[in-house]
Chains A and B, each alone.
Chain A
Amino acid sequence: MTPGGLPALPPRRIAEAPAPGGSDETDGRCSIETESRGGASAIAFEHVSKVFSGAARPAVDDVSLTVAPGEFVVLLGPSGCGKTTLLKLVNRLYEPTSGRIAIDGRPIADQPAPQLRRRIGYVIQQAGLFPHYRVWENVATVPRLLGWDKRRIATRVDDLLELVGLPPAEYRMRYPMQLSGGEQQRVGLARALAADPTMVLMDEPFGALDAITRTRLQDEVRRIHRQLRQTTLFVTHDIEEAVRLADRIVVMRTGRVVQYDTPLAIVLDPADAFVADLVGADDVLRRLSLIPAATAMRPLGPGGPRPDTPTVTMRSDLRADLSQLLADDVPALTVVDDDGRPVGTLDLAAIQAVSTPNAELADDVAAGTARPTR
């Protein structure tokens, strides 16, 4: 993708195909889905710039991009590159200096900001929970603003706490100060989702959490997104987090978009040295840790999988596969799909083939010849 230009949309894979592992995750854990009739919003940035008064250069510089309904887009880039500013332009905490943002075709500048924000979930780093409100009151914030009746709010609060993995009976009456950082972020997420928004904005929500909690919450966010399908803009400076979560990643640098593509395409074929550096393309092990087995595997031979070879899943990353290959001292691994069926084979040469930046492979991925999954 060219910086600043309108990137061509890749075919929307996620909308039509059931998400990997999606079916087992939506087994009616709670009744959220039945309430989810709002659908997902499309969002379009058209030549959006933001110059803070007194600033030498724009914080956001001529950004044009579109996000499809239901898509999970991660804004990635080093600190100070304008991610937060871009996000806050969407819920009008900031107003653009020039350009236009439209949600579902309607310019947001035409909509009263408080009403707009009630339709857009917003999660920030330190959760920003109201410390004088109990958990349930925090979650009930937007429904109360919208004037829902008490019973509906109570049911909704419990459903949401359930959804984010906090048993309502245990957590409803607590105060934010009685929660761990991870639990606070879960409540922040529940609050953002409370009034069934068609879009969710998240600004480094897990930045202050320890690694284990962060990974767990990333999985939860992914599960919830598969379940609810709200269009999501998620800010991070952490490439691993971006790859884990994103349908597509917007790589930003000094206010500009330098690449907008799928995680795999960005890792396999960084647009320039800056992106290559950001994704650590020169560090082979790091790079391998970002590529799933499905991308590198070779088709099974006519005889099917070789007996006695260890198996790995399509979604395992190549770094883990490589260490297994070496540790087990075998010539190849068998790659299996989510149901455990053998679908390919992985040897050292196959891994080596994707271990350096490779535009050809990225094109194959884009064309669907190589099969990415995440």
Chain B
Amino acid sequence: MNLDYLFRHPERVLDLTGEHLILSALAMFFAVLLAIPLGAAAARWRRLTLPILGLLGAIYTVPSLAFLAFMIPTLGIGRTPALIALAAYAQIFLVRNLVAGLRGVDAATLEAARGQGMTGWQVFRDVRWPLALPVAIAGVRTAFVSTIGLASVAAWINAGGLGTLLFEGITRDDPSRILTGAVAITALALLADALLRLAERNTAIARARRAA
């Protein structure tokens, strides 16, 4: 096993890495867009918490190839079904952490905020949300890393990305492509992890905790 493929075709590897990143990032973008209202609702109404988290957990257990195969009759192949699958898998991480973060804010702090005369929206924007943010970002981080891994499977339905190298490696019995793909995927995942850790550390409450 070696990285020959990477040195022989660096521009193709770079292109596929870019595709992979865009696919994962786009999936995360839609996933977060969906997770915020879901998470806010699950945090706000206790009755919704278990059903929502239960459903998202169940989705996560569906094997990824099966999920993609299910969508072929209606959505065909390509980017759209891949994005839908990735965004759906990410929900459990995003919503679970969002609920934990929003619920975890000290009730006395929230009551103090209301007691000082903040409106409901101001309490959310200035107190609840910033205090929930590190936990929410940790959810994004876990989800992003998982999405970058899962996005490899998308190549199976022609959505591109580094998974292409893995499937080529298998069908052509070329371990160098597999290793190159794996290394690039891991590098992307580590990079995403590091960036989001940085974001976590830069929230107001994380800065306050570090100061203490």
Residues of chain A contacted by B212 (CB below 8 angstroms): 175, 177-178
Are A177 and B209 touching (Cβ within 8 A)? yes
Name the interface residues of A132-176: CB closer than 8 Å to any CB of B.
Answer: 132-134, 141-142, 145, 174-176
Determine if A289 is an interface residue (Cβ-Cβ < 8 Å): no
Are A131 and B208 touching (Cβ within 8 A)? yes
Residues of chain A contacted by B207 (CB below 8 angstroms): 132
Are B115 and A122 touching (Cβ within 8 A)? yes
Are A117 and B114 touching (Cβ within 8 A)? yes
Across the two chains, which residue of chain A brings its CB closest to B212?
A: A177
- B-side interface residues, number (CB < 8 Å): 25
B98-131 interface bits toward A, Cβ cutoff 8 Å, 1 = contact, 0 = none: 0000000010110111111111001000110011
A100-123 interface bits toward B, Cβ cutoff 8 Å, 1 = contact, 0 = none: 000000000000001111100010
Assembled-state Cα–Cα distance A171/B88 (Å): 47
Q: How far is the CB of A14 from chain B (nearest CB, A)?
A: 26
Are B117 and A177 touching (Cβ within 8 A)? no
Q: How far is the CB of A68 from chain B (nearest CB, A)?
A: 24
Determine if A22 is an interface residue (Cβ-Cβ < 8 Å): no
Are A132 and B130 touching (Cβ within 8 A)? yes
Residues of chain A contacted by B112 (CB below 8 angstroms): 122, 124, 127-130
Contact of B116 among A174, A176, A191 (CB under 8 A): A191
B187-210 interface bits toward A, Cβ cutoff 8 Å, 1 = contact, 0 = none: 000000000000000011101110
Determine if B50 is an interface residue (Cβ-Cβ < 8 Å): no
Across the two chains, which residue of chain A brings its CB closest to B110?
A: A128
Are A132 and B204 touching (Cβ within 8 A)? yes
Across the two chains, which residue of chain B brings its CB closest to A117?
A: B117
Assembled-state Cα–Cα distance A131/B211 (Å): 11
Are B127 and A130 touching (Cβ within 8 A)? yes
Are B113 and A130 touching (Cβ within 8 A)? yes
Q: A126, A131, A191: which has the most chain B beta carbons within 10 Å?
A: A131
Q: How many A-B residue pairs have CB under 8 A?
A: 73
Q: How far is the CB of B119 from chain A (nearest CB, A)?
A: 5
Are B109 and A128 touching (Cβ within 8 A)? yes
Residues of chain A contacted by B127 (CB below 8 angstroms): 130
Residues of chain B contacted by A129 (CB below 8 angstroms): 109, 112
Are B109 and A131 touching (Cβ within 8 A)? yes
Q: How far is the CB of A91 from chain B (nearest CB, A)?
A: 6
- A-side interface residues, number (CB < 8 Å): 28
Are B116 and A122 touching (Cβ within 8 A)? yes
Determine if A93 is an interface residue (Cβ-Cβ < 8 Å): yes
Residues of chain B contacted by A122 (CB below 8 angstroms): 112, 115-116
Assembled-state Cα–Cα distance A118/B117 (Å): 5
Assembled-state Cα–Cα distance A316/B111 (Å): 39
Are B211 and A177 touching (Cβ within 8 A)? yes
Q: How far is the CB of A118 from chain B (nearest CB, A)?
A: 4
Assembled-state Cα–Cα distance A125/B112 (Å): 10
Across the two chains, which residue of chain A brings its CB closest to B203?
A: A132
Residues of chain A contacted by B130 (CB below 8 angstroms): 132
Assembled-state Cα–Cα distance A54/B146 (Å): 46
Assembled-state Cα–Cα distance A134/B212 (Å): 12
Residues of chain A contacted by B109 (CB below 8 angstroms): 128-131
Residues of chain A contacted by B118 (CB below 8 angstroms): 114, 141, 145
Contact of A131 among B117, B119, B205 (CB under 8 A): B205
Assembled-state Cα–Cα distance A118/B113 (Å): 11
Are A131 and B131 touching (Cβ within 8 A)? yes
Q: How far is the CB of B193 from chain A (nearest CB, A)?
A: 24
Q: How far is the CB of B144 from chain A (nearest CB, A)?
A: 24
Residues of chain A contacted by B204 (CB below 8 angstroms): 132-133
Known contacts being A124-B112, A129-B112, A132-B130, is A175 close to B211, with CB within 8 Å?
yes
Known contacts being A128-B108, A131-B109, A131-B131, is A117 close to B209, with CB within 8 Å?
no
Contact of B115 among A93, A177, A178 (CB under 8 A): A93
Known contacts being A117-B116, A177-B209, is A145 close to B111, with CB within 8 Å?
no
Are A141 and B116 touching (Cβ within 8 A)? yes
Assembled-state Cα–Cα distance A200/B204 (Å): 29
Are B115 and A117 touching (Cβ within 8 A)? yes
Query: Can you list the 3 inter-chain pairs with the closest CB atoms, starting with the nearest?
Result: A128-B112, A118-B117, A177-B212
Q: Can you list 27 A-B contacts with CB-CB less than 8 angstroms, sorted by A residue number? A: A114-B119, A115-B117, A117-B114, A117-B116, A118-B116, A122-B112, A122-B115, A122-B116, A124-B111, A124-B112, A125-B108, A126-B108, A128-B113, A129-B109, A130-B113, A130-B126, A131-B131, A132-B130, A132-B203, A132-B204, A132-B205, A133-B204, A145-B116, A145-B122, A175-B212, A177-B208, A178-B212
Taking Cβ atoms with an 8 Å cutoff, the residues of B that contact A are 106, 108-109, 111-119, 122, 126-127, 130-131, 203-205, 207-209, 211-212
Known: A93-B111, A124-B108; 16 extra A-B contacts, CB below 8 A, are A93-B114, A93-B115, A114-B118, A117-B114, A122-B116, A124-B115, A128-B112, A130-B112, A130-B113, A130-B126, A131-B131, A131-B208, A134-B208, A175-B208, A176-B208, A191-B116
